[in-house]
Amino acid sequence: MMEAGAIAAYTNEVRAQIFETLGKREADLTDLNGFESFVYLDNTAGQILRITHHSHRSPAMLEAELQLLELLSAAGAGVSRGLPVCGEPLLTVGDFTVCCFEPAQGQLITQADWHPALFSAWGQAIGRMHRIVAAQPASRMPARYSWREDQNTCCLDWLPADQPLVRARAASLLAKLDTLPAEAGDFGLIHCDAHAGNFHVRKPVAEIGALNAEDYALTFFDFDDACYHWFAFDIATIFFSAVRQAWIADTDAAQREVAEEFVPAFLSGYRQLFPLSDFTVRQLPLFLQLREISLYAVLNFHEDHGGGDFGARFMAGRRARIEAGIPVLDLSGLL
């Protein structure tokens, strides 16, 4: 979520200065209501502008994100590449840095697109990205931060003191993560947030009943959270969000029913592009727990549950579930 300091610093004067430096008119830009940065569609150039305060990401981290996109794109992954800003990879104006991106082709998925062929294509896309990253020598990889510096981990410090059992669950979880090996085939630079809101799909022309994964073209964007993490976390994050689409009931039974269709199809696609190790499979429940507790920490910190309707739905009864150790998603028999 947008940090208060970034919002306060983005005054009318600062915004005008940035747009003037870019040679843009505010009237030609559509505000896309970015979650952690100020994001606009440039209607004249057909590009995405993202303006990030340095309290959120340093210029070095933003440059590393652009390097990751270039690496993935060059190897055939479907990603929204970075574009030059005033002839440079990025542009810094005061305490803000501007990045520019290609707009992702296609549209966000809807309930009408919800089909095993899409799930398999989604798995293929993530497997391809993991394969590309795993094949790179360390010397070629961008200098992004590690999981221990990621908000999904650091935000656990935000848990309130008057919730000792939740804090104990978080501490136990981190202790387990600290013991995990970070082997090349299981660990690398990942998207970290590759849910359905962070890719577009070009709709296939075939009838829905005759679709195959190859009929879909997925383009991923918003690599702002990319960090060095276990591949299992990328997968767990997707499972976590897939069963929480707006049209799915907030019950364990409904989410399990969705998982029974989604998980096998996704993993089938993933395995076509990259081996799914026994280690990754075993750790998926652990990383589902990390996703649950970290999101709870963020939304609990923002008392208005700034996640909107999704945030309110997620937070309902969440503390009690975490305290009771109820799994966020039952994966038994699906892996």
Segment 41-56, tens digit of pLDDT? 999 999 999 999 999 9
**What confidence tens digit (pLDDT) does each residue in 163-215 have?**
999 999 999 999 999 999 999 899 999 999 999 999 999 976 556 566 787 88
pLDDT > 90? residue 154: no
11: containing domain: 4-101
Which helix (H) or strand (E) is 31 found in, with range? strand 29-31
pLDDT > 90? residue 153: no
Residues 128, 64 share a domain: no
pLDDT at 224: 97
Report if residue 335 sits inside a domain. Answer: no
pLDDT > 60? residue 69: yes
Report if residue 268 sits inside a domain. Answer: yes
91 touches 97 (CB < 8 A): yes
Q: Which of 64-73, 169-178, 287-296, 301-310 has the lowest mean pLDDT?
A: 301-310
Report if residue 243 sits inside a domain. Answer: yes
Report if residue 333 sits inside a domain. Answer: no
pLDDT at 197: 96
201 touches 109 (CB < 8 A): yes
Six token digits for residue 297 = 């920490």
- Domain total of the chain: 2
Domain boundary among 43, 76, 101: 101
Residues 62, 15 share a domain: yes
Q: Provide the angle, in degrees to the nearest 10, between the axes of the packed helices 278-301 and 231-242.
A: 60
Contacts of 255 (CB under 8 A, 6+ apart): 243, 244, 248, 249, 329
Residues 213, 312 share a domain: yes
Q: How many CA atoms lie within 13 A of 267 on its CB side?
A: 18
**What confidence tens digit (pLDDT) does each residue in 228-282 have?**
999 999 999 999 999 999 999 999 999 999 999 999 999 999 999 999 999 999 9
Average pLDDT over residues 109-137: 96
pLDDT at 130: 99
User: What pTM value is reported for the model?
Assistant: 0.95
Domain boundary among 101, 130, 155: 101
Six token digits for residue 30 = 């559509």
221 touches 78 (CB < 8 A): no
96 touches 14 (CB < 8 A): yes
Residues 115, 77 share a domain: no
Domain boundary among 54, 77, 101: 101
pLDDT at 311: 87
